[in-house]
Amino acid sequence: MDFSFEAQKTQQRLLSELDFSPLTSKQKSIFTARLETNFKPLFEQLFPLYQHHFDLHFHLKTLLQSFIDFQKKKRPAQIKDKSDFWFESNKNVGMAVYVDLLADDLGSLIDKIPYFESLGINYLHLMPLYLAPEGNSDGGYAISDYRTVSPNLGTNKDLKDLASALHKKGIRMVLDFVFNHTSDEHRWAAAAKSGDQEYQDYYHFMGEQDAMEYNQTVREIFPQIRRGSFTYLPALDRHVWTTFNSFQWDLNYANPAVFVAVVEEMLHLILNGCDVLRLDALAFVWKEKGTVCENLPKAHNLIKAFKACLDIAAPQVVFKSEAIVHPDEVNKYIGTDECTLSYNPLMMALLWESLATRQTSLLYHSLERSFKIPEHTTWVNYIRCHDDIGWLWDDAISGRLGMDGFGHRRFLNQFYTGQFEGSFAAGVPFQENPVNGDCRVCGTLASLAGVENAVAADDPVLLDHAIKRIRLLNGINFAMPGIPLLYQGDDLGVLNNNDYLNDPSKAEDSRWVHRKKLTEQDFALAQDIKTPQGNIAQLVQEMIQIRKANPLFAAPEFELVSLGSPHVFAFKRQMGDKTLLVIANMSEHLVSFERPLNSIMQKDSAHNLLNKAVVDLVTLNTIEPLDILWLA
């Protein structure tokens, strides 16, 4: 088959059937130009998924008509910065927040914009804020209606007003695109429960035998909540696919009607003013019996099809990948034809691994293999997020370094949940598997880094070490290529909060230990330099200011640097004849370098950007305990 010819023929047929009357001649011209460029990529991705569906032409027509209608709909004031590669700037610094945990609602979040400005935030990720079930909604990731803001947070108008207010201050708004599943209260799910065959085909309904066969090969994500990946519905005598919680029903993308319907929901999110859509749980979106049902080739077809839709309808918006999977699989979602931005879970996990072991070999070897990504794509680097920490490195790499992957993960879980003697951390286990003992780790940055235990012990040495770890982690995060992302409260040095244990809807989900409602007291403590929180807030703000003032933090060339010590992590970034060398000591001891720094930087002196001191590179051959250097 001549694919280009078939795509062109299909496109011409569709153009003759579409209603362009809502558009002005200029709008039509712009739209058809984008369609001309991007229809073939869309067709190329959808054809492998839906070639056997007799009604594919109908679904394509419905899809393109929705794009046309979308062009006439009013959106909030857009951001002034229209540069195609805005995400490559050193001025980008992000923060992820729950609206009702940082403020009270969308209206009062506008009042926090001066704080974002003072900190230097220009990329704001709002955690899910749409209608969700009462009680446990997986932190808002069980969406009952993509088109309705949760009433406790405000209205769609409030969200649009927030987007306009953020854009006027140069801050981009990021929303979640939860497209793997809906809540079981969504109107599609409600219709399926009532016996509507059309909407039952929106989900994966099956008998017990089929469910058992799928369960042989898929992994359990929340084993403490439910064994297997299915939930039995007695009223229908059927099993429905629920990868996560039983109230989160996985969508059936083998049905083209689902793809079209979800694209229309995506366009509604964009109408509310977002600049970036975070693709939640994207690794799980395609299912095939006999596989693990994660990272399947057709999942990439599907995501590339969504991206082609974005390029036709709203090219100013970009996707961010949330693939918390094997590093080799994470990188496959990153590309100009798929996800422009991607979380970097590998670096996050291995920074914590290096702090626990005081060794950097696994971090070095893993980043050597996995850090490089295509041109005009960018990592979103983070130390903590709303979720847990999972230890997702490549066991082949740890094996070559003499580490048993299972045993090393068990050590890290025990270390960061305070079960290992000498641990500085006060983390909490999440979703421990009763069969193999595996789990993940929750906690705020400050509690995991040792502040909580140091304060409890009233030990100034331990507290000094804890704050230095926080400075160290932030120093790496702000200096690595990509967009650094802070999680709410970590900018204030907030500690773990156990109030969630008193709420029956949250008590079984230990991630709420780091989802604290921020108070005026938290902000007041961060203003007092005599407190640990004040120290942390100050160092974060100073690092952000240095990063945003220095274009070297947008340098395109990146290279890991070995200084001959197992305790040191170092890298350099190059922009023309200018060099940034970052050196971090992961141990509580003075460490020596085996390589002269002047040979690396091709200079005999440099400025340490963090303290403005001039450094003699010829004689500098040690680094203080838990210290970090930004040498330029």
Residues with a catalytic annotation lie at 280, 322
Ordered DSSP codes for 31-54 = HHHHHHHHHHHHHHHHHHHHTT-T
User: 278 phi and psi, to 5 degrees?
Assistant: -85, 120
**Alpha-carbon distance 489 to 360, whole Å?**
27
- 432: number of CA atoms within 13 Å, CB side? 10
Question: Of the candidates 597, 580, 587, which has an alpha carbon nearest to the alpha carbon of residue 566?
Answer: 587
- Spatial neighbors of 372 by CB under 8 A, at least 6 apart, are none
**Alpha-carbon distance 110 to 199, whole Å?**
39
Q: Write down the residue that tokens 């032409």 correspond to.
A: 57
Tell me the sheet residues that pair with 174.
125, 276
Q: Is 609 helix (H, G, I), strand (E, B) or coil?
A: coil
Q: Beta 172-177 vs 123-126: how paired, if at all?
A: parallel
What type of residue sits at position 26?
A: K
**Alpha-carbon distance 341 to 86, whole Å?**
11
**Alpha-carbon distance 266 to 488, whole Å?**
26
Tell me the sheet residues that pair with 231.
240
**Alpha-carbon distance 585 to 582, whole Å?**
10
Tokens linked to 262:
């979800």
How does DSSP classify residue 76?
A: P
**Alpha-carbon distance 245 to 612, whole Å?**
51
Q: Is 571 helix (H, G, I), strand (E, B) or coil?
A: strand
499-504: list long-range contacts, CB under 8 Å, 24+ apart.
504/135
Could you tell me how many helices (H) and strands (E) the chain has, helices first?
Answer: 23, 25
Distances (CA, A) of 104 to 29, 160, 349, 385, 459: 44, 17, 31, 20, 36
Element (H, E) at 448: helix 445-449
Note the residue count of the chain. Answer: 632
Q: Write down the residue that tokens 């446990």 correspond to.
A: 136
Question: Of the candidates 201, 263, 255, which has an alpha carbon nearest to the alpha carbon of residue 55?
Answer: 255
548 burial type by CB count under 10 A (0-12 exposed, 13-18 middle, 19+ buried): middle
**Alpha-carbon distance 45 to 493, whole Å?**
45
Q: Write down the residue that tokens 């090393």 correspond to.
A: 408
What type of residue sits at position 128?
A: P
What type of residue sits at position 160?
A: K
What type of residue sits at position 23?
A: L
Ordered DSSP codes for 158-222 = HHHHHHHHHHHTT-EEEEEE--SEEETTSHHHHHHHTT-HHHHTTB-EE-HHHHHHHHTTSPPSS
- Spatial neighbors of 426 by CB under 8 A, at least 6 apart, are 418, 443, 447, 448, 450, 452, 453, 495, 496
